Amino acid sequence: MPNLRLALCQTDPWVGDIARNSDEVVHWTKQAVEAGAQLVAFPEMALTGYPVEDLALRRSFVEASRAGLVELAGRLAGEGLGEVPVVVGYLGRSEQASPRFGRPAGSPQNCAAVLFRGKVATRFAKHHLPNYGVFDEYRWFVPGDQLPVVRLHGVDVALAICEDIWQDGGRVTAAREAGAGLLLVINGSPFERNKDDVRLELVRRRAAEAGCALAYVNMVGGQDELVFDGDSIVVAADGEVLARSPQFEEHLLVLDLDLPAASSDHTDGLLLADGLHLVRAELGGEPAGAPAEPVSAGVAPRISDEAEIWSALVSGTRAYVRKNGFRSVLIGLSGGIDSAVVAALAVDAIGAENVYCVSMPSRYSSQHSRDDAAELARRTGLNFRTVSIAPMFDAYLAATELTGLAEENLQSRLRGTLLMAISNQEGHIVLAPGNKSELAVGYSTLYGDSVGAFGPIKDVYKSLIFRLARWRNEEAERLGEVPPIPENTISKPPSAELRPDQKDTDSLPDYDLLDTVLDLYVEGDHGRDAIVAAGFDPAVVDRVVRLVDTAEYKRRQYPPGPKISVKGFGRDRRLPITNRWRRG
């Protein structure tokens, strides 16, 4: 069997920065070629970043991407890398009209190309366009109708893009019909909890259906609310895992594959599954046997659920801060569990020296909460100061009569105003500490604790917040480090401390119960009657459903945050604010 040395470049493209992304392609290709790679692949839309959203509708951006692709091909050759084919995703356009989709010629497409000897050897567009969850690709793109097959060193390599293997048939079935020896798939697959297991089973199943080895390269990093975890995989036709990259880090995976010799004589234009037309590219190269020094990429160990989630939150926060041109963050540190976890995440993401925290006590702030905030600062080494809001609060109350909820919310809004003022003065980006449980039921103050540019725990239920805090402390102990979060912060009953002896349970059900009902209603889309039928108290369910439904306007005004669940607030769940439907 011919041997092919494959390199999968698990990289972090930046949306809109074609020049930087091109530099990265050259950088990683050099490393791959130095490792002896004969075929190099990058993630979906690696040249433009992903997802580009409505940037795809700007002709100037499409043309910049197309021109950048041609320039990149020439640059690779100029750097002495032109003899190794490089697969790169980019933003392209259709050459023909697509009457079925009502789109004219020149419409945007999610494309990939093979760059070889200074030229674009072949190019193709994504066939299956996802239009669910966080994806709106039918809004932007026209699907492709080809199966590209590259013959290289005596092996036929079929090419596909992400969703092409998440849907049945299509390029997977067509790859089998074309007699491919390898199906190479480039991806921009966002992270969700437990998706690594789902992804592995998918890749194994598609390899069996294609009847050949399957190589899956995915991006890492973050883009607004999306986090990409890498987890690039290569499996044999029988499902054996041959190599797997670590999650949440850039990585070059190089391995030798023994693949069946190309034998098919199918010609260009042959009609395959799903109406796909076969398009061949002959790149040459003599078939080679097993190398004298074979490369074994290894299989990265899997990590725990808590480690995976923590890494996703850290990656998403780091990407948002860095890619938006900031170096430092500002957090209101109350001594409570939410701001403590956000601060610990920020320290892991960008370093303690770049994290600034402010304690803003009022007359209702307990001494133990003030002490807990100071203790976290001491443990982590972040920048910490105290600014009391008591004088401002008293001035407001002297000017106008406020009681009850209005008085409580005033404290939160004073803190929000103070944080934004410091942000403006010192140039830090403010991180909001709200969690998914609070956002779901509206247990937050608009223009108060909801202020900020990013919400690191926006998609994390409160019960999971406690689990993550305990895990992070245990991980620190395992590594011989100081646990960042004070034990008292984790063990004390949650409280907003906006009135005397306040507890969250005064206003909300116990968080374990609340989060279970929320998971059924938000993630599961179960209606009120179905949740009650599952054994939950009707009064509790009615209350939770009402709170969720009437808080939609608040969630629309909350900053973005990294998505870790199957259904996060924002891109995943889009309900009308003005809505009289109350049956769940």
Q: Is 286 an active-site residue?
A: no
Buried residues in 481-518 as b, exposed as e (16+ CB within 10 A):
eebbbbeebbebebbbbbeeebebeeebbebeebbbbb
DSSP string, 385-406: EE---HHHHHHHHHHS---HHH
- Is residue 313 a contact partner of residue 345, using CB atoms and an 8 Å limit? yes
Q: Is 24 an active-site residue?
A: no
Q: Is 126 an active-site residue?
A: yes
Nearest Cα to 334, choosing from 306, 307, 372, 298? 372
Catalytic residue, chosen from 9, 24, 111, 126, is 126
* Amino acid type, 377: A
User: Is the four-CA dihedral 308, 311, 313, 316 of positive or negative sign?
Assistant: negative
- Is residue 577 a contact partner of residue 552, using CB atoms and an 8 Å limit? yes
Catalytic residue, chosen from 111, 162, 212, 357, is 162
- Is residue 156 a contact partner of residue 150, using CB atoms and an 8 Å limit? yes
Which secondary-structure segment (H or E) carries 278? strand 277-284
Q: To 10 degrees, what angle do helices 511-518 and 462-478 make?
A: 110
Nearest Cα to 572, choosing from 525, 528, 530? 525
Cα 394 from chain centroid (whole Å): 44
**Residues in the chain, overall count:** 584
Catalytic residue, chosen from 24, 44, 308, 375, is 44
CA angle 110, 112, 118 (to 5 degrees): 140
User: Is the four-CA dihedral 495, 571, 49, 218 of positive or negative sign?
Assistant: positive
As a dihedral over the C-alpha atoms of residue 304, residue 309, residue 311, residue 316, rounded to 10 degrees, the angle is 160
45, 73, 145, 270, 549 from 279: Cα distances, Å: 21, 20, 10, 8, 51
- Is residue 386 a contact partner of residue 358, using CB atoms and an 8 Å limit? yes
Catalytic residues: 44, 126, 162
